[in-house]
Structure 1
Amino acid sequence: MAETNGTHEPVFLIFGKSGWIGGLLQEELKKQGATYHLADARLEDRAAVIAEIEKYKPTHVLNAAGVTGRPNVDWCETHKQETIRANLIGCLTLADVCAQRDLHMTYYGTGCIFHYDEDFPVDSGKGFKESDKPNFTGSYYSYTKAIVESLLKEYPNVLTLRVRMPIVPDLTYPRNFITKIIKYDKVINIPNSMTVLPELLPMSIEMAKRKLTGIMNFTNPGAISHNEILQLYKDYIDPEFTWSNFTVEEQAKVIVAPRSNNLLDTDRIKGEFPELLGIKESLIKYVFEPAAAKKEETLKAVREMRGR
């Protein structure tokens, strides 16, 4: 693969610059003092994608583009063509253009393509491996993501990262998984694999530098339930906080598409980064301890967000 652009330093090109993960990648690369550029092209526009790559001559492409829907993945159920265009055609176009130029591409995909079943029961400790075939297509979002992951395996230059229920320290950021469940009147209570972005995103940049390829379960080791997270919020931030649960069947009455719940195996990522913290330890270090350090400010912001 192309190692440099006349230098020995990597040059990153980010697609999805206005998205959540794209923005966080910019912050991280800037923090590292890395050379990076922001692409403007829509992924499905092959000529524009080629023009971006010829303009910036990257050594590494980071694909954080795509649609998840607003306010949530239910949007994809009624916008199927837009979902296909962004999550499938666009992603494959970028991978193909990179492959033809021997460029490494990191794709921030999803792990929401599996769900617990008889072979992978809840609380069994048995996680889905990178080699396992997706078994969840309950939402159109997950359906397209499972298809594109399968097709990307044919490209030897691509690293696919399975992100799940991403979390950041800002407890009022609307796409933060913790923010979502703090706002809900009722939550289900199922253990899940999750991605603590402040710990894992820097590792993804290192993965790109190492030119890792194939599929990587991009989550912290272990699973944590909704109730456990809300209890941490109660312990660290708001001792008066309360919540209630409902069943998956009750949840189904208030959403359009089913949601994925699973545990992903983390042997591969732990092999690359043995220092990676378990999910609860990571949440405490990267989210709840920093929030507790400015407790009054955090509590005020969260209560304003919740309208209480």
Structure 2
Amino acid sequence: MGVTAENGSSPAERTLKFLIYGRTGWIGGLLGKICGAQGISFEYASGRLENRVQIEQDVEKAKPTHVFNAAGVTGRPNVDWCESHKVETIRANVVGTLTLADVCRERGVILVNYATGCIFEYDEKHPIGSGIGFKEEDTPNFIGSFYSKTKAMVEELLKNYENVCTLRVRMPISSDLSNPRNFITKITRYEKVVNIPNSMTILDELLPISIEMAKRNLTGIWNFTNPGAVSHNEILEMYREYINPNFSWKNFTLEEQAKVIVAPRSNNELDTTKLEKEFPQLLSIKESLIQYVFKPNQKGSA
């Protein structure tokens, strides 16, 4: 769909100008670096998501062609935080995101919203290892954590906004293995890990694609992961092969994991057919891990 700007021209006909929410966040910071490298004009928003007046001021001042939302609450150190901070989670993840979408719609601006795919869990129709992934139009079936509940709620409501591009990110990974938000960094530091195949998002490959999606004015829901699934053990085996030959780890079961976490975690595979049709060059999860994460970090690599 083409969203028309107030001056009558479509965003594609004007010089790109991005407004990014999430300056201090991981994805928000990476987006700024990519825009800088591509020579795309951008600025970070200063307003709070839940404050409509501040958002309106941000958009009015920046006059963006597109807004990127990489803000919100995931919880520190993990999503268990959301279980005891429910109002704060709602305020940012539901109220804030909807307010931003609404302000953008009023001004004919596309909102690219980095959402989550952690709203599904394997079931009888989507068994582990089957390769049958959840599609964009499937109804979320995971309500184990309050974080996931809020994300499923806001995704359902955002379907009514024709100016929103919802990107379902899962277990994000980047080439920066020092970043504590990086899924690989997390599991290498855990005492024990479960071993379940999951869809995951390699940010080094997919964030530039999200910028290209904005350039194409794409909207709607997109499973924003690399094709296929990869297990915790497979990633740690790659880590041992490319990064640390002495690395070792221990596994435990979901039942054992449940004893040390507050809220259950989502495990699923997402169907990426829609994204692959739009971007045929997209690498499978294992290929992307090697090319974008492990080879650049391999000892002796440039």
Q: Considering the TM-score relative to the shorter chain, is it more than 0.5? A: yes
Count residues in correspondence.
Answer: 296
| Aligned pairs for 1:59-208 within 5 A | 59-208=65-214
Q: Which consecutive unaligned segments of at least 5 residues does structure 1 have? A: 298-308
Distance 1:5 1:196, change over 3 A: closer
Aligned to 1:284, which of 284, 287, 290? 290
CA offset at residue 172 of structure 1?
Answer: 1.9
**Contact 2:276 2:282 (8 Å CA) reproduced:** yes
CA offset at residue 294 of structure 1?
Answer: 4.5
Structure 1: distance between partners of 2:296 and 2:97: 35
> 123-132 or 237-246, which moves further after superposition?
237-246
**Contact 1:43 1:91 (8 Å CA) reproduced:** yes
Instruction: Give SS of 2:18's match.
Output: strand
**Contact 1:4 1:11 (8 Å CA) reproduced:** no
Instruction: Give SS of 1:14's match.
Output: strand
Distance 1:239 1:233, change over 3 A: same
**Contact 2:69 2:112 (8 Å CA) reproduced:** yes
Aligned to 2:221: 215
Instruction: Give SS of 1:245's match.
Output: coil
Aligned to 1:303: none
Could you list the runs of 4 or more consecutive aligned residues of structure 1 that deviate by over 4 angstroms after TM superposition? 3-7
Distance 1:254 1:57, change over 3 A: same
CA offset at residue 150 of structure 1?
Answer: 0.3
Aligned to 1:302: none
Aligned to 1:24: 30
CA offset at residue 8 of structure 1?
Answer: 2.5
CA offset at residue 12 of structure 1?
Answer: 0.4
CA offset at residue 154 of structure 1?
Answer: 0.1
Structure 2: distance between partners of 1:6 and 1:291: 37
Instruction: Give SS of 2:90's match.
Output: helix
**Contact 1:110 1:161 (8 Å CA) reproduced:** yes
Structure 2: distance between partners of 1:80 and 1:192: 27
Q: Which consecutive unaligned segments of at least 5 residues does structure 2 have? A: none
**Contact 2:12 2:216 (8 Å CA) reproduced:** no
Percentage identity across paired residues of the two chains: 65
Q: Which amino acid aligns with 1:269?
A: L
**Contact 1:5 1:11 (8 Å CA) reproduced:** no
Instruction: Give SS of 2:112's match.
Output: strand
**Contact 1:4 1:10 (8 Å CA) reproduced:** no
Instruction: Give SS of 2:166's match.
Output: strand
Distance 1:7 1:276, change over 3 A: closer
Q: Which amino acid aligns with 2:70?
A: A
Instruction: Give SS of 2:148's match.
Output: helix
CA offset at residue 7 of structure 1?
Answer: 7.2
CA offset at residue 37 of structure 1?
Answer: 1.1
Aligned to 2:234: 228
Distance 1:5 1:226, change over 3 A: closer
Aligned to 1:263: 269
Aligned to 1:42: 48
CA offset at residue 170 of structure 1?
Answer: 1.5
Are residues 1:8 and 2:11 paired? Answer: no
Distance 1:5 1:283, change over 3 A: closer
CA offset at residue 171 of structure 1?
Answer: 1.4
Instruction: Give SS of 1:219's match.
Output: coil
Structure 2: distance between partners of 1:259 and 1:229: 18
**Contact 2:12 2:215 (8 Å CA) reproduced:** no
Normalising by structure 2, we get a TM-score of 0.96
Structure 1: distance between partners of 2:227 and 2:11: 36
CA distances 1:218-261 after superposition (whole Å, capped 9, x unpaired): 00000000000000011111111111110000000000000000
CA offset at residue 79 of structure 1?
Answer: 0.3
Structure 2: distance between partners of 1:230 and 1:242: 8
CA offset at residue 115 of structure 1?
Answer: 0.3
Q: Which amino acid aligns with 2:261?
A: I
RMSD after superposition: 1.4
CA offset at residue 6 of structure 1?
Answer: 12
